[in-house]
Chains A and B, each alone.
Chain A
Amino acid sequence: MTSGLDAATTLRPAGLAEAREAVLDSAGPLLFRGAGTKLDWGRPPAGVEVIVDSGAMDQVLAYNPADATVSVQAGIPLAALQQVLAEHDQWLAVDPPGLDAGITVGGVFTADDAGPRRLGYGTIRDLVIGATYVLSDGTIGRTGGFVIKNVAGYDMAKLLCGSLGTLAFVAELVLRVHPRPVASVTLRIPADAGAAARMSTLLAAAPIEPVAADWAEDALWVRLTGHPDAIADQAQRLPGVVGAGEVETLAGDAEDQAWDRLGRALAGADGETVVRAACLPGQLPDAIAGLTGVADETGVAVDVSAHAMLGVLTARLSDGEPAAHAACVAGWRDRLRPLGGHAVVHRRSRDVERVVDVWGPPPSAIGLMRQVKRRLDPDCRCAPGRFVGGI
């Protein structure tokens, strides 16, 4: 896809007014870019003339630690924001992959990307309390505000979150931040997919509140954060609750490195096709069996991990031709469908999108989605064709 963008002009506005000018610079198709780590999410947009790059919009606009809110320009790298917040023992409670690749807060928002700790905190969807955005016709809109509790007007930020830049350029965001956990510990429990799902169910029924529970590398990784006494107490009870035999306890650097490695795996590597799927948590073993079965049939190597208590899976497909990857995705979808699940290709390697729809079948509300697109971007200039159903 990047090759298709070579002819486009890149504009780097430094603020809201310049962002508006950039959007109005041409009448042609636009692509909004943060760190550029998710350009291969969605379908390749058609005929992009102008890339509006948020890289120069990297400022903290207002930070009120006592209110636990921060207002930022959308191009601020997540790592830079976390550094500012850490000075007051706070953080933006998201941990998507790509921190060292410079992922921006706006990029995480427009992709609604998340990491393991979405179990404890939700995704950035649940943390954005206000947004300022620029439509392709130059209209600037604000939604929400600066307070956590607010039901005035439509929550337009929900529409923008996960829209992959197909509705508007997100210029500024107001976010709720959280206190940084005082202490953290992670238990690694060896488990196959079936055992991990069983343990997750037991864990969910127990009075233990993990912030992350990932199945990866043939183990269930459970992270507990909070008061040191409290996590020690929960860590001690946990093996009994889930019926685990062998348990390894990780803390400090070893713990951070382990989660860093698991997080990186979510993003995948060059040449891999990354598929994000979801099912009910209890159906995890079926979903994984479906994937390994279809991978065998198509001759594709797969590596799969899951946010086990949420039913969110990430599969990385390697080896094999694009057609084989495509067949694997299509086959997995067939097996997820009876479970009520779905699978979306996040990282498109080697034109796999020519053979399979990265989004899968459109949802029943696709008609309403098209109407929303038509009203907010009537000339279809924002990343045309990138989204679900060719929106």
Chain B
Amino acid sequence: MTIDRLRREFVDLLGRDGVISEGPQLRTYECDGLTGYRVRPALVVLPTTTAQVADVVRACRRDQVPFVARGSGTGLSGGALPHADGVLIVLARMRSILHIDVENRYLVAEPGVTNAAISAAVAGHDLYYAPDPSSQIVCSIGGNVAENSGGVHCLKYGFTTNHVLGLEFVTADGDVVDLGGPVTDTPGYDLRGVVVGSEGTLGIVTKVAVRLLRRPEAVQTLLADFDTPRQAGDAVAAITSAGIIPAGMEMMDRLAIQACEEDAKVGLNLQCGAVLVVELDGPRAEVEARFLEVQEHCRTAGALNIRIAEDAAERALIWKGRKAAFAAMGRLSRDYFVQDGVIPRTRLGEVLERIDQMSEETGYRVANVFHAGDGNLHPLVLYDGRRPGEAEEAEALSIRIVELCVESGGSITGEHGVGADKACSMPKMFGKDDIALMERVRTAFDPAGLCNPGKLFPTPRLCGERPGPYRPHPLEEAGIAERM
């Protein structure tokens, strides 16, 4: 009854095409990039202004109806998984770039603007937005804020939290406030800092001011082949010990190389045990001097071959191969779980060997793609969902791998977020009090607990349930998210 009344109210507010309440259309929104979890929302709304978002939130609060914000739906932890009795607030129609200030190097965008569109909008001024998650062509800046997205260049440049200057924010009460802003050092608590990465559980971001960086003068990228991941790991250690902070440093093992090569045809050596991609950027003389050192460290660690990207096109191809790694895995295996764990980078060798052992013991192949510089691993556990029991066993292996990361002094997630997927793993990493204190902050923002409930925090109900197996999302099949 309540939902029906809300539907009529929202149609008045947003127009008929701003509200979705019919089954087939609702289905489009029942999952994000983590397709094993599916919930059909009671209502979907597509506001186009901050005022409309605030009105929707106020109505939800009045009727005590949960609401979930969603951007492009590319998240890999189910952070935008709808609530069955709630309203899904899709921000994809709020996709204007509102202001570009070249002199002061910032840009203000609505939350539905894609990550890549921001850099594209300022490319003519030699500026760009640094965080570059692999899904950057599709994923929205609002979603990046919710997840504190990183990307392949975050070792040197940091994460979303280091590049967001200010937010316009609709509170769980429906008030509109500013958190930070283009002018630095706003007096007061750094609420912007806690909202970034809060996975939509504190309120809804309706504008984002981001810092823009000057494009580096020079970029150099190399691909180095090694017999074993351990040798590649030695090269990583040598490079970082020499005081070099590469813009990006990525590693792939043999399985991942095969998948990428079939997909992107980068020209990777299919015989080697590991490939390392190292990119340096910055002032030309700095990059030239350091790039020679990097090559030397790779050779000393046992590189079989070093290929240097000749031009921007070849560099782009290498990164295309790397960024396509998850999707390319479909060529090797019908189904797979994508894991996202972090370890101190010095533990890389031993953790990889342990993952190998676990793979042998269980009989499931594990492909490894990772951001080697910051120890962020993406083991992909391959399985065939048609065979009974495989999905459950493969998922159990995937969970054991992330627990291994925590035991090695790392984290349950480096960039995909906790969401619905890992809420039950939070106690592996944090104590009861640690989580309770986060809940106090959540209550400060959202006393009624209506804002994206069931995410991030472990609850008995949540942690007693099992997700379904992986199924391809239409977004993956089409290679693109829905574009309104």
Contact = CB atoms under 8 A, between A and B. Distances in A.
Interface of A: 64-69, 89, 112, 122, 125-126, 135, 139-143, 145-156, 158-159, 161-163, 167, 178-180, 182, 201, 204-209, 226-227, 229-230, 232-234, 276, 278-282, 310-312, 339-342, 344, 359-360, 362-369, 371-372, 374-376, 387-389
B441 A151 contact: no
Given A179-B245, A206-B214, A146 B190 contact: no
Contacts of B438: 143, 153-154, 156
B194 A66 contact: no
A154 B436 CA distance: 11
Given A158-B193, A233-B284, A363 B435 contact: no
Nearest to A143: B434
Contact of B183 (A66, A67, A311, A368): A311
Given A365-B188, A375-B440, A151 B413 contact: yes
A366 B288 CA distance: 49
Interchain residue pairs A-B with the least CB separation, the first 3? A158-B193, A179-B243, A207-B217
Interface in B436-461: 436-438, 440-445, 456
Contact of A230 (B154, B185, B283, B346): B283
Contacts of A178: 245
Interface string B341-372: 01111100000000000000000000000010
Contacts, number: 258
Given A67-B375, A205-B214, A229-B288, 14 more contacts: A143-B438, A147-B410, A147-B411, A149-B154, A151-B411, A201-B103, A204-B214, A229-B285, A232-B285, A276-B185, A280-B101, A280-B104, A312-B185, A340-B182
A364 B194 contact: no
Contact of A233 (B283, B342, B410): B283
Given A152-B429, A233-B283, A376-B440, A278 B185 contact: yes
Nearest to B371: A149
A340 B166 CA distance: 13
B258 to A, nearest CB: 26
30 contacts: A67-B345, A125-B190, A147-B409, A149-B371, A149-B374, A151-B416, A152-B422, A152-B426, A153-B434, A154-B442, A155-B196, A158-B161, A158-B190, A158-B192, A158-B194, A179-B243, A207-B217, A227-B285, A229-B286, A230-B282, A311-B183, A344-B187, A362-B188, A365-B178, A367-B177, A368-B171, A368-B177, A368-B445, A372-B189, A375-B440
Contacts of A69: 344
Contacts of A281: 103-104
B437 A376 contact: yes
B313 to A, nearest CB: 21
A232 B285 CA distance: 9
